[in-house]
Each structure stands twice: as C-alpha cells, then as structure tokens.
Amino acid sequence: MKILVTGGAGFIGGNYVHLMVKEHPEDTIVVLDSLTYAGNLETLEPVMDAPNFRFVKGDIRDRDFVSALFEKEHFDIVINFAAESHVDRSIENPQIFLETNIIGVSVLMDACRKYGIKRYHQVSTDEVYGELPSDRPDLLFHEDTPIHTSSPYSTSKASADLLVLAYHRTYGLPVTISRCSNNYGPYQFPEKLIPLVISRALADESIPVYGEGKNVRDWLHVYDHCHAIDLIVRNGKDGEVYNIGGHNERNNLEVVKTILKALGRSEDLIHYVKDRPGHDLRYAMDPEKIETELGWKPEYHFESGIKDTIDWYLNHKEWWQHIVNGEYQSYYERMYKDRK
C-alpha cells in the first residue's frame, strides 16, 4: 500500500512513521508536512534514507497542492496527524487552529473522495469530550460520550471529527477516527509538559505548574498509540470511532515530581502559576472497544514508560537542544538544498 501520513514530522506522526517504515517494509510511506514551528524534520532523520519512505513539504490547507499530490501519487490510505495541538496557543490565536484543524481536514477529505482513497483516518483527542470530575474515578470517556469542548483547540478537533463522520454518511467516504489520551515518549516538542520538565530540570530552571497541579490526565506511551492506529487503519470498521487510553491516570504534579526524582533534582524548582482559562480537571479513556474488537492492549505502564522517556531525552540532548535554540528550523534547507 501507499500511505500518506500528514503531519509526519511532528511528535506522534513521526513515531508512527518510524514504526511503519520498520514493521511494514512492503508499504510506501509518504510524509506531508508544512514544517511549522512543531514540525521537525530531524525527527525523521532515522528513516530519511529508507527505500520505502519519502518526504514532501506542503500545507494541507492548500487545495491545489493537495489535489496535485493525490493525482500524482495514487494513495491507498491517508492518516491525518497534521494539527495545531497546543491548548495555550489556541487560546492566544484561535484562527490558525480553525484553518488547519478544520479547513485542512476538509481539503484532505475532498481529495480522498476525488481520488478513491480506501481509508481516511483522523487522529483526534480525548479533549473533545470535555472534562470528568476528579472525585469520580469510576467515570470514563466512552465513544458515545457527548462532545463538550473547553478550548479553541478541542473545539477545532471536535469540528473535524464531526466533519469526517458527515463525509462518511453523506458521501460514503471510508473513514475511521481515533481519540487518544495524553501521549508521551521520544521526539515530543519541548513545550509539552514532560519534555518541558525534563529540559528545564536538567538546566536547573524553574518549572511552571498550572494552579495546584491537580489536573489529572491518562498517560499513553506514543508507541502504544501508534500500534493502535495501525490496527485501526488496517482492521477497523468504516465510520467508527475508537478510544485509545493507557490506564495510567496521574495528576500533573505527580508527573513533575516523578521526573524531578528520576533526575535527582529538588522539588524547589516547582513554580506554581495562574491556571489557564477553561483548564479541564480530568480526562480518562475507556479503551474497551479497541481492546475487544481489535485485540489492542497497551504495553507500557507509566512507571516504565516515563523511565524510558527520560532516558531517551538524556541520550538525545542534541535533538531537543536544537529546538530550544531554534537550529532545527534550518534542517530542511540543510537536507534538501542539494536535492532535486
């Protein structure tokens, strides 16, 4: 199969590409990424020379470009990781989130309709469900939990999900959607909680924690997430939504303290800051559907997963230091200046 992976130079998309190139050498993987601030081509360096991999720079909002790419490549599968994803940024500037996360999705699906794609998969988020009460650990998000968004980011993702399902019902487009809990692991952009804490702790810099740090998230290792997506794309039912969760609920303060302890740093580095507007209390996914129907199970417990993640950042300082100092943004020019 020829698979288009949009947003493949990002955190989750990049890890998915690594997995596919390694485990499915019979498939051709084409990455489309516009390399905005969170798109880092250095993430794809380990697969750059693989015979079944190619990179294309472009924007999913560009209808003419996307259509021409589809006409040329004849993709079988499209997996859309491309998204603006940072809640804080969506609060500051909602416009780009609406353009990429909604308009970009419509452009991709129109191309899928026109060129007869066998499966369009939309990578979504648990944030479309809103929040759960922190004092009810028995309550979990199910696939039929009503959508109830809290931020411009989650609203843009929920809108995309509804649009995807509408294209399935109206046009018969073969689609699937996955909604995941908070991911962690290698190659995550340093503005996110876990790599932010690691990088700042190593520099003995203060670590900002919203409110009292009591907001709870279900943590999912990115490798487990990528395996789940692969199962859905290959074996999932058209028109279905699948929740992907890690069974690893932790509040933000617990996560920060776990990292500080592992790095031998003092908790005095923690600096409590004003909570962000509309900050959801708790997310928790019930992945029973994907476990029952597709046989997926997460391999990582948080204790082992966070240790492996910390070790990865310790052993790949150059990768995240390039982001911190901005050098990663010139990697595309260095890689492609002599290529035709």
**What gap in Å lies between CA 53 and CA 62, rounded to an integer?**
22
Would you call 153 a catalytic residue per the annotation?
yes
182-184/216-221 β-pairing: parallel
Distance between CA atoms of residues 184 and 132, nearest Å: 21
* Distance between CA atoms of residues 143 and 82, nearest Å: 22
126 is catalytic: yes
Q: What is the 3-state secondary structure (H, E, C) of 122-170?
A: EEEEHHHHCCCCCCCCCCCECCCCCCCCCCHHHHHHHHHHHHHHHHHHH
- The full length of the chain comes to 340
Q: Which of 42, 59, 84, 127 is catalytic?
A: 127
Residue type, 333: E
DSSP designation for 268? G
CA–CA separation, 35 and 128 (whole Å): 25
Contact (CB, 8 A) for 61 and 33: no
Q: Which of 42, 59, 84, 126 is catalytic?
A: 126
Q: Is 131 a catalytic residue?
A: no
| Sole residue written with tokens 């809290």 | 150
- Give the whole-angstrom CA distance, residue 65 versus residue 319: 30
Of 153, 184, 242, 300, the active-site residue reads 153
Question: Any idea which residues carry the catalytic annotation?
Answer: 126-127, 153
